[in-house]
Amino acid sequence: MEPGPPGSSGPVEPGPCLSGQRGADHAASASLQSAAGTEPGRHSLAVAAVLPAGGCGERMGVPTPKQFCPILERPLISYTLQALERVCWIKDIVVAVTGENMEVMKSIIQKYQHKRISLVEAGVTRHRSIFSGLKALAEDQLNSKLSKPEVVIIHDAVRPFVEEDVLLKVVTAAKEHGCTDYDLEFGTECLQLALKYCRTKAKLVEGSPDLWKVTYKRDLYAAESIIKEIISQETCVVMDSKEDNKHVGHLLEEVLKSELNHVKVTSEALCHAGRHLQQIILDQCYNFVCVNVMTSDFQETQKLLSMLEESNLSILYPVVVVSVHFLDFKLVPPSQKMENLMQIKEFSKKVKERNILLYGLLISYPQDEQKLQESLRQGAIIIASLVKERNSGLIGQLLIA
Amino acid sequence: MEPGPPGSSGPVEPGPCLSGQRGADHAASASLQSAAGTEPGRHSLAVAAVLPAGGCGERMGVPTPKQFCPILERPLISYTLQALERVCWIKDIVVAVTGENMEVMKSIIQKYQHKRISLVEAGVTRHRSIFSGLKALAEDQLNSKLSKPEVVIIHDAVRPFVEEDVLLKVVTAAKEHGCTDYDLEFGTECLQLALKYCRTKAKLVEGSPDLWKVTYKRDLYAAESIIKEIISQETCVVMDSKEDNKHVGHLLEEVLKSELNHVKVTSEALCHAGRHLQQIILDQCYNFVCVNVMTSDFQETQKLLSMLEESNLSILYPVVVVSVHFLDFKLVPPSQKMENLMQIKEFSKKVKERNILLYGLLISYPQDEQKLQESLRQGAIIIASLVKERNSGLIGQLLIA
């Protein structure tokens, strides 16, 4: 099927189709606006992607093939799948993996709930793997759940930061130039292969610096830091009271705002506006500071943890929750309150299974205004560290500011 | 001056000349053995290096020029200087910086105690900067403290992981091929410039994958992770008793060995063998676990901190010290001991000024053997996290295992 004429009334795809997605998805869509500006007409165009993932990563210097190396405990290829998957106009994603990694790949798809993925067995070379993927898409089998695509995007499994606008460029170019080999900027034989064996369209276009490939161990380090940075952009402060007695929570919120650059702080009374908090969770905020003022235990933090567990927020990224408590160390020795707060260790073990990193923070609350500011500032530094590092070795610790 | 004939009795340079250096220096000398194998004869050859560092780092996406971007709070260029400086046969290192960064550069040299460095003003292009550096070396001024070199290495200020064997290759090639432009593998006009304006020898040779350039922000992240990994290779366990009562310290040592892969654990009784510990510090171990069994306070940790402060170990890298204490939580409530241990916060602030990161760790010591193993394992996980992350936001915390 050829794309219809301009102005025809087909569905509005390809073209950006995000809704209610932000936060971590920015990894793959930082240039969405520009993509929207170059929308290639409003036509229905069947697009699929093929990911050759049969490599063994010999340059990485680690025994695991690089596409399966963990970043924040999740395999690299899952990040790449996530980036493609969120582009709703890519109908099918075919991943070519070796026979020995087939089961690993299946379990990754299941654990991270990837959709629209089909697996084929990789060939002995990258080109043969691409061929296998294209063949699966081209075959017109009755039992096949794959729809025959008009454009196929061939994408490395180890380029997790692909943006929608680059993918859109690929599709636009394929549509404009058909299967010619015009403007083959990073041309490899993959394209020739696609042209030769399949009657589908294929073309390579120039990417952005973000479209880099994880090749060496240092690239894994860089990818981890970038992902950590992306999911640390926003922090939600949850308070256990609406108006009364919330003074100190708001003071902390103010200090957090000044301590953490480019971090959006959202204050939210859990008991009064659960719906609002639900929206924040849906919007993919991965960091929560739960201020417990009204009670001396973890009542509010536990409510928040339940909400987070019910949502599937932590499937893709570890969620940080800091349970904050206040105490005037002059009036009550911290040890007394600490005894009570020690149970955070048990909570943290339980929620770690759901990929939630729980820490406790006891902030000194002296009468002196200046000293209070100082302990709030210390608290903000600790919160910033926990959000930034996402250190699973320190969960369940009760930190003191 | 031309290099003397083979077999002449000049000093043994160029050629590797490390002694008593390991640990972090491996960053710059991972392939020393191979370098030793290709030692270019035993001749005195005057070698200098020129570092063009006048760039503004527009690709980095940060306002600071990339050579001044901090990695573990130390500017990138200081790591590059360290890598060159430790090659004792490089007699002079000339850095070309812009006028506006001259004072910053001077303070970096002073703070990190760099030696054999001269500064010249950078030109408007990289080539002009190199020219300025070469000119300073070529000029035969009476007042100049620089010796006229026979070989000049031109090295990017933003390639911190240069290895001695690569530098040796440069010098060997220059010696063998003179100034011809033979085998100009990564040739840029820099070489032509050097040939044209100076009567010194210059040549570019192929580097290794480790010789990568910090260009993008992701490269800074990668560099930080690599440096953290390098300085986390070795951990020294210090105990406060020689034979008696040291049981639990040794148990911890064993668990640490099994928990931390590729980490050398050195047990050392502080009071009996200070000289041995001095050697470990001289050998550049950047991680210390101080086990306090005999006393309930920080006596041993304080001794260790004094030794570290007297050494200059923490000038280049932050040193991690974990002060470990044991307690049977069944017999004594942890809060009681914690009250006493809270003073670690004040110590940590003081030693942070000297680039020492101090943390406290209270390990539960139950009678039950299996439970003890579990709490030791928890303790080892926490120690591993602290060593790996080197998080300055969490100094002075008393963590509980």
**Quick check: B216 and A209 CB within 8 A?**
yes
Residue B124: DSSP 8-state: S
Greater confidence (B326 vs A141) lies with: B326
- Does B334 lie at the interface with A, CB-CB under 8 angstroms? yes
Report the relative pairing of strands B234-239 and B90-97 from DSSP bridges: unpaired
Option in B59, B381, B400 nearest A393 (CB): B381
Interface A-B, measured as beta-carbon pairs within 8 A, has a size of 85
Cα distance between residue B279 and residue A234, in whole Å: 46
- Does A218 lie at the interface with B, CB-CB under 8 angstroms? yes
Identify the band that residue A254 occupies on the pLDDT scale cut at 50, 70 and 90.
confident
Which range has the top average pLDDT, A383-397, B156-170, B231-245?
Answer: A383-397
**Quick check: A393 and B385 CB within 8 A?**
yes
Strands (E), B79-126: 90-97, 117-121
- Does A219 lie at the interface with B, CB-CB under 8 angstroms? yes
Q: What is the pLDDT of residue B211?
A: 74
Residue type, B211: L
- Does B381 lie at the interface with A, CB-CB under 8 angstroms? yes
Q: How many CB atoms lie within 10 A of CB A310?
A: 10
H helical segments located in A178-211: 189-197
Q: What is the pLDDT of residues B61-93, one digit of tens each?
A: 667 889 999 999 999 999 999 999 999 999 999
- Does A225 lie at the interface with B, CB-CB under 8 angstroms? yes
- Does B30 lie at the interface with A, CB-CB under 8 angstroms? no
Q: Which of A5-14, A27-36, A159-168 has the lowest mean pLDDT?
A: A27-36
Cα distance between residue A252 and residue B1, in whole Å: 69
Q: Report the chain A residue with the minimal C-alpha distance to residue B381.
A: A393
The tokens for B197 are 């304006």
Tell me the shortest Cα–Cα distance from B334 to chain A, in angstroms: 8
Q: Which of A164-178, A367-381, B266-280 has the lowest mean pLDDT?
A: B266-280
Average pLDDT of B118-147?
Answer: 83
Q: What is the pLDDT of residues A177-199, one digit of tens each?
A: 658 333 333 344 455 555 555 55
Whether B268 shows a pLDDT value over 90: the answer reads no
- Does B385 lie at the interface with A, CB-CB under 8 angstroms? yes
Option in A59, A225, A393 nearest B221 (CB): A225
Q: What is the pLDDT of residue B29?
A: 36
The DSSP line for A56-123 is --GGG-SSS-GGG-EETTEEHHHHHHHHHHTSTTEEEEEEEE-GGGHHHHHHHHHHTT--SEEEEE--
Q: What is the CATH number of domain B233-400?
A: 3.40.50.360
Q: What is the pLDDT of residue B260?
A: 75
Identify the band that residue A250 occupies on the pLDDT scale cut at 50, 70 and 90.
confident
The tokens for A350 are 């339980």
The closest alpha carbon to B270, from B245, B242, B295, B293, belongs to B242
Per the CB < 8 A criterion, the answer to whether B184 and B204 are in contact is yes
Report the relative pairing of strands B398-400 and B319-327 from DSSP bridges: unpaired
Q: What is the pLDDT of residue B352?
A: 97
Q: What is the pLDDT of residues A119-162, one digit of tens each?
A: 999 998 888 998 899 888 887 555 667 778 888 888 889 999 98
Containing B319, the helix (H) or strand (E) segment is strand B319-327
Per the CB < 8 A criterion, the answer to whether A398 and A344 are in contact is yes
- Partners of residue A209 in chain B, C-beta under 8 Å: 59, 216
Q: What is the pLDDT of residue B226?
A: 94
Calculate what percentage of chain B has a pLDDT beyond 90.
41
**Quick check: A339 and B345 CB within 8 A?**
no
- Partners of residue A386 in chain B, C-beta under 8 Å: 393
Q: What is the pLDDT of residue A35?
A: 39
CA Rg value for chain A: 25
| Per-domain residue ranges of chain B | 23-227, 233-400
Whether B23 shows a pLDDT value over 60: the answer reads no
Q: Report the chain A residue with the minimal C-alpha distance to residue B377.
A: A393
- Does B400 lie at the interface with A, CB-CB under 8 angstroms? yes
Containing A229, the helix (H) or strand (E) segment is helix A217-231
Residue A11: DSSP 8-state: -
Whether B327 shows a pLDDT value over 80: the answer reads yes
Q: What is the pLDDT of residue A288?
A: 94
Asked whether the domain spanning B233-400 has the same topology as the one spanning B23-227, the reply is no
Mean model confidence pLDDT for chain B: 78
Residue type, A228: K
Tell me the shortest Cα–Cα distance from B225 to chain A, in angstroms: 6
Option in B336, B338, B394 nearest A399 (CB): B394
- Partners of residue A380 in chain B, C-beta under 8 Å: none
- Does B225 lie at the interface with A, CB-CB under 8 angstroms? yes
Mean model confidence pLDDT for chain A: 78
**Quick check: B222 and A221 CB within 8 A?**
yes
Whether B21 shows a pLDDT value over 80: the answer reads no
Per the CB < 8 A criterion, the answer to whether A204 and A155 are in contact is no
Three-state DSSP class for B108? helix
Calculate what percentage of chain B has a pLDDT beyond 70.
71
- Does A399 lie at the interface with B, CB-CB under 8 angstroms? yes
**Quick check: B400 and A397 CB within 8 A?**
yes
Q: What is the pLDDT of residue B317?
A: 97
- Partners of residue A399 in chain B, C-beta under 8 Å: 394, 397
Average pLDDT of B298-314?
Answer: 91
Q: What is the pLDDT of residues B343-380, one digit of tens each?
A: 899 999 999 999 999 999 999 888 898 999 999 999 99
Whether A111 shows a pLDDT value over 80: the answer reads yes
Greater confidence (A314 vs A177) lies with: A314
Q: What is the pLDDT of residues B337-347, one digit of tens each?
A: 677 777 899 99
Q: How many CB atoms lie within 10 A of CB B187?
A: 12
**Quick check: B218 and A224 CB within 8 A?**
no
Q: What is the pLDDT of residue A57?
A: 62
Q: What is the pLDDT of residue A242?
A: 60
Q: What is the pLDDT of residues B228-262, one digit of tens each?
A: 999 998 898 888 766 555 578 888 988 998 877 66
Option in A216, A336, A386 nearest B335 (CB): A336
Q: What is the pLDDT of residue A6?
A: 37
Identify the band that residue A377 occupies on the pLDDT scale cut at 50, 70 and 90.
very high
Three-state DSSP class for B324? strand
Q: Report the chain A residue with the minimal C-alpha distance to residue B333.
A: A339
Whether B153 shows a pLDDT value over 60: the answer reads yes
**Quick check: A334 and B342 CB within 8 A?**
yes
Phi, psi of B47 (to 5 degrees): -115, 135
Which range has the top average pLDDT, A180-184, A373-377, B9-13?
Answer: A373-377
Cα distance between residue B93 and residue B79, in whole Å: 14
CATH architecture assigned to A232-400: 3-Layer(aba) Sandwich (3.40)
Q: Domain A23-227 falls in which CATH fold? A: Spore Coat Polysaccharide Biosynthesis Protein SpsA; Chain A (3.90.550)
Residues 6+ apart with CB under 8 A from A198: A134, A135, A137, A138, A152
Q: What is the pLDDT of residues A36-76, one digit of tens each?
A: 334 444 456 888 999 999 887 666 666 788 999 999 999 99
- Does B329 lie at the interface with A, CB-CB under 8 angstroms? no
3-state helix, strand, coil in chain B (%, to 5): 45, 15, 40
**Quick check: B225 and A218 CB within 8 A?**
yes
H helical segments located in B295-391: 299-310, 334-341, 344-352, 369-389
Option in A333, A342, A399 nearest B397 (CB): A399
Strands (E), A129-263: 151-154, 234-239
Residues 6+ apart with CB under 8 A from B65: B55, B56, B57, B101
Identify the band that residue B138 occupies on the pLDDT scale cut at 50, 70 and 90.
confident
